[in-house]
């Protein structure tokens, strides 16, 4: 009687590459974005905004240890931001094409109709409260699917398109995009909100990885395999 460990494929190579490239890009974009935010800390709705009385929010000044670079420099922060926005945008595009082609989005991310039943969602919530994250029939349960789909299909594209609206060159080329978001300052506010929602997802994601076994989770995202114990009987 032998106990052997046979690897089971969990993540495709394209998913793993995008995961790490996207994580690096988002960290650099977030930190350089905080530096850019320090240049003008008030947020507005519409096309115009400068006066404090017109702002809906004034954000704090972020310290150097939170920003890239670690000193105030609008030009340097913009250089970092533009460079990694290209890595981020084209990386997401490549992932979406690959995920549609290999069926990852339809098979693992899109929830089936039966999964949207309130009883199923409530069961998922209770299992998460017990720190049981490996329940459900597929690779991800309904709460995971909702979170991943919201990030991949809503928040990440929103970051890209609102960022394009804030670029003077892009705004000149496609002025209709400004109207879609209700004005340049509205796009800036939505960009800021989406960035902090992604930060919240990042913190929650790291917490759940730590709770569900970080070595196993990181190994599967590096190698693509998930160890599965099986028992073989040999004569």
pLDDT attached to residue 45? 93
Of 124, 151, 150, nearest in space to 138 by CA: 124
pLDDT attached to residue 3? 52
Token code pair at residue 85: 């926005």
| 174: region left, alpha or beta (phi > 0 left; psi from -120 to 50 alpha) | beta
Token code pair at residue 181: 């978001």
Domain locations in the chain as residue ranges: 2-232
CATH topology for 2-232 is: Fumarate Reductase Cytochrome B subunit (1.20.950)
pTM: 0.86
Alpha-helical runs (H) found in the chain = 13-37, 74-101, 104, 118-129, 142-150, 156-166, 168-173, 176-180, 184-211, 214-223
pLDDT attached to residue 94? 95
In order along its 235 residues, the chain shows pLDDT tens digits of 445 555 566 788 888 899 999 999 999 999 999 999 999 999 999 888 788 888 999 999 999 999 999 999 999 999 999 999 999 999 999 999 999 999 888 888 898 888 888 988 898 888 888 777 776 666 788 888 999 999 999 999 999 999 999 888 787 788 888 889 999 999 999 999 999 999 999 999 898 888 877 788 888 888 877 755 443 333 3
CA distance 10 to 59: 41
Query: 228 in helix, strand or coil?
Result: strand
- Half-sphere exposure of residue 145: CA atoms within 13 angstroms, side-chain side: 23
């Amino acid at each position: 009687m032998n106990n052997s460990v046979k690897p089971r494929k969990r993540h495709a190579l394209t998913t793993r590459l995008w995961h790490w490239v996207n994580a690096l890009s988002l960290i650099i974009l977030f930190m350089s974005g905080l530096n850019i935010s320090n240049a003008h800390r008030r947020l507005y709705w519409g096309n115009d905004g400068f006066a404090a009385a017109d702002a809906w929010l004034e954000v704090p000044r972020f310290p150097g240890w939170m920003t890239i670079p670690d000193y105030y420099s609008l030009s340097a922060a913009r250089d970092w931001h533009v460079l990694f926005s290209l890595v981020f945008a084209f990386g997401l595009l490549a992932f979406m094409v690959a995920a549609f082609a290999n069926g990852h989005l339809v098979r693992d991310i899109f929830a089936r109709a039966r999964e949207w039943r309130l009883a199923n969602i409530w069961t998922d919530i209770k299992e998460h409260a017990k720190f049981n994250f490996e329940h459900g029939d597929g690779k991800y349960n309904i709460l995971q699917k909702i979170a991943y789909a919201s990030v991949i299909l809503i928040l990440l594209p929103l970051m890209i398109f609102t960022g394009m609206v804030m670029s003077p060159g892009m705004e000149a080329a496609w002025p209709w995009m400004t109207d879609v978001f209700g004005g340049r300052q509205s796009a800036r506010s939505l960009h800021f909100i989406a960035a902090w929602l992604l930060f919240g997802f990042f913190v929650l994601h790291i917490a759940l990885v730590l709770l569900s076994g970080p070595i196993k989770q990181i190994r599967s995202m590096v190698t693509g395999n998930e160890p599965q114990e099986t028992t073989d009987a040999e004569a």
